[in-house]
């Protein structure tokens, strides 16, 4: 099933946005809960052209961070560009000189031969960008802007000022790292990255970064100094590692999906001289299966059962939990890689054409972890009554896993993170049923399959972020925050506060500044 995106939208994806580094008090309508104290950080692209050069893809735009601080019944807004090396080099040259995934940058024709040779070598073994415009992550006491390269940038969450540049490669041999880590109650962060041909091997590495906020202050920053490798997983294709954007975690297991959406390393090494971008070096192999790795957190070893399913592409895990000898995990899955192509700027700005992408589906998988001894080939090993997901035994100890589709036309899932890795009921998502761009958000009940939606004419809400009420009762006791692009005449954008139980509006705060579409966000409670 495919859906069409008519690009006739009021939002201009190609327009460079202005930063507002000085604090701006928002115009509040309604009453904020007194317990809502803290800062919502959000990140996304904001500059799409420099001089006479332009980015090809919306994801490539230079990172524009913004924040909403809730304090004593008021909302304060500010935004600031991430001033990393990429930003500084592009601005100094007055043209785009640092390559991004969807845009290959070439030197000014006036540059000398030596400069061109250096540029070529930097693209043969890519020195990736530090344009960290996808999300924010926390390691120890520090907060970082992140994308998926080996570089992250420390930022001041209060002022959004750019601070240290941190290279994962100084602590671990990984060239690509996800921007969606997990966190334990004690503050330990878990993440994973890909090592490209390190000592002749291409592998995936799971690692953890212990919390340092309560420890020795001298060793507190950067917390990556205390990084510990949990395990490595070899790639099934030496020169074509799987692309992944996130992974799952329960109390006892990690879930890693090795999907047939791959980076062709040899093609990436020659992309610059062939005049193509790195994104063109990603290949989807629909004839291949998707492997599901279930890794024991204590031993760092994969369980003995081999799980697989049909070809699919997953960007976002929703949640995972354990019950009655099973690991259950939910993901947003696509049939093909068309989502990425939807965000090329020439596609987004074409007014008269439509583009097609597959419908994203929220799928639930159930992995039996008990031994398959005594189970006949062809038998379904899933014994849970509340899901239609199956895991059929095949020869050689393999299990063919078929998911239950919980709902479709959804993306950017968020949950009450207190329930991360545990059995949960509610998930908050954007609705993208008719386009890759959300026009509404919803609360979804995974038990009853009930959908409760919020929408408003000519408004485009962002990823909905759940904030729990301190000492709250129940999984949905809290509020949901979403920033809203508002194209109604004479009205400004706003941050919307919804009661999570009823999904009804509690308050909104209009911002006297131009809000921009972004990707992901992170809420920092005031006590942190």
Q: What is the pLDDT of residues 395-430, one digit of tens each?
A: 887 999 999 999 999 999 999 999 999 999 999 999
Q: Cβ neighbours of residue 453 under 8 Å, at least 6 residues apart?
A: 431, 440, 441, 442, 443, 503
pLDDT in tens, 312-351: 999 999 999 999 999 999 999 999 998 898 899 988 877 4
Over residues 284-306, mean pLDDT: 95
Cα separation of 177 and 363, whole Å?
A: 24
Q: Is 317 annotated as a binding residue?
A: no
pLDDT at position 157 is 97
123 carries a ligand binding annotation: no
> What pTM was estimated for this model as a whole?
0.92
Number of domains in the chain: 1
Name the pairing type of β-strands 398-402 and 306-309. Answer: parallel
293 among the known binding-site residues? no
Residue 95 within a domain: yes
Residue 9 inside a domain? The answer is no
In a domain, 44, yes or no: yes
Position 113 in a domain: yes
Q: Is residue 4 part of a domain?
A: no
Closest of 53, 144, 55 to residue 343, by C-alpha: 55
pLDDT at 306: 94
Distance CA 418, CA 428 (A): 14
- Residue 1 maps to a domain: no
Interior/surface letters 7-29, b for 16+ CB within 10 angstroms, e for the rest: bebeeebeeebebbeeeeebebe
Its domain, for residue 397, covers 20-213+222-525
Q: How much is the average pLDDT of 213-221? A: 57
Evaluate if residue 219 carries a pLDDT over 70. no
pLDDT at 374: 78
Give me the DSSP letters along 120-146. HHHHHTT-------SEEEEETTEEEEE
Residue 8 within any structural domain of the chain: no
pLDDT value at 170 more than 90? yes
520 is in an annotated binding site: yes
DSSP labels for 368-407?
A: E-S--TTPPTT-B----SS---EEEE-GGGEEEEE-EEEE
- Whether residue 13 lies inside any domain: the answer is no
């Amino acid at each position: 099933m495919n859906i069409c995106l008519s690009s006739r939208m009021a939002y201009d994806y190609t327009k460079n946005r202005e930063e507002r580094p000085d604090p701006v008090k928002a115009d509040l309508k309604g009453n904020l809960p007194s317990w809502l104290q803290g800062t919502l950080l959000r990140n996304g692209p904001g500059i799409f052209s420099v001089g006479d050069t332009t980015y090809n893809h919306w994801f490539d735009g230079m990172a524009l961070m913004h924040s909403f601080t809730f304090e004593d019944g008021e909302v304060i807004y500010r935004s600031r560009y991430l001033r990393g090396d990429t930003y500084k080099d592009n601005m100094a040259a007055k043209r785009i000189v640092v390559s991004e995934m969807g845009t290959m940058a070439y030197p000014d024709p006036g540059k000398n031969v030596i400069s061109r040779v250096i540029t070529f070598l930097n693209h043969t073994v890519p020195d990736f960008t530090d344009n960290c415009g996808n999300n924010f992550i926390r390691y120890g006491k520090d907060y970082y802007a992140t994308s998926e390269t080996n570089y992250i940038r420390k930022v001041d969450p209060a002022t959004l000022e750019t601070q240290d540049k941190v290279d994962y490669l100084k602590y671990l041999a990984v060239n690509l790292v996800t921007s969606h880590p997990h966190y334990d109650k004690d503050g330990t962060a878990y993440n994973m990255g890909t090592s490209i041909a390190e000592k002749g091997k291409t592998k995936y590495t799971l690692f953890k970064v212990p919390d340092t906020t309560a420890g020795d202050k001298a060793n507190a920053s950067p917390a990556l100094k205390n990084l510990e490798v949990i395990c490595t997983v070899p790639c099934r294709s030496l020169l074509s590692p799987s692309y992944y954007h996130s992974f799952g975690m329960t109390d006892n297991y990690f879930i890693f999906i090795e999907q047939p959406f791959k980076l062709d390393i040899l093609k990436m090494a020659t992309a610059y001289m062939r005049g193509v971008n790195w994104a063109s070096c990603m290949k989807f192999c629909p004839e291949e299966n998707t492997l599901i790795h279930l890794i024991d957190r204590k031993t760092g070893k994969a369980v003995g059962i081999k799980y697989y399913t049909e070809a699919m592409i997953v960007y976002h895990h929703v949640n995972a939990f354990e019950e009655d000898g099973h690991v259950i995990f939910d993901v947003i899955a696509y049939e093909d890689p068309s989502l990425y192509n939807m965000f090329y700027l020439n596609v987004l700005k074409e007014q008269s054409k439509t583009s097609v992408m597959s419908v994203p589906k929220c799928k639930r998988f159930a992995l039996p972890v008990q031994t398959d001894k005594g189970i006949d080939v062809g038998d379904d090993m899933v014994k849970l009554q509340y899901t239609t997901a199956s895991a059929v035994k095949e020869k050689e100890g393999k299990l063919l896993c078929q998911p239950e589709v919980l709902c479709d036309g959804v993306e950017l899932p968020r949950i009450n993170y207190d329930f991360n890795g545990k059995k949960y009921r509610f998930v908050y998502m954007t609705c993208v049923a008719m386009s890759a761009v959300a026009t509404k958000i919803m609360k979804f009940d995974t038990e009853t399959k009930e959908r409760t939606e919020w929408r408003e004419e000519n408004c485009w809400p962002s990823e909905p972020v759940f904030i729990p009420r301190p000492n709250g009762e129940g999984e949905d006791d809290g509020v949901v925050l979403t920033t809203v692009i508002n194209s109604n005449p004479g009205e400004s954008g706003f941050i919307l506060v919804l009661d999570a139980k009823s999904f009804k509006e509690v308050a909104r705060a209009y911002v006297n500044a131009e809000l921009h579409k972004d990707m992901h966000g992170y809420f920092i409670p005031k006590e942190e």
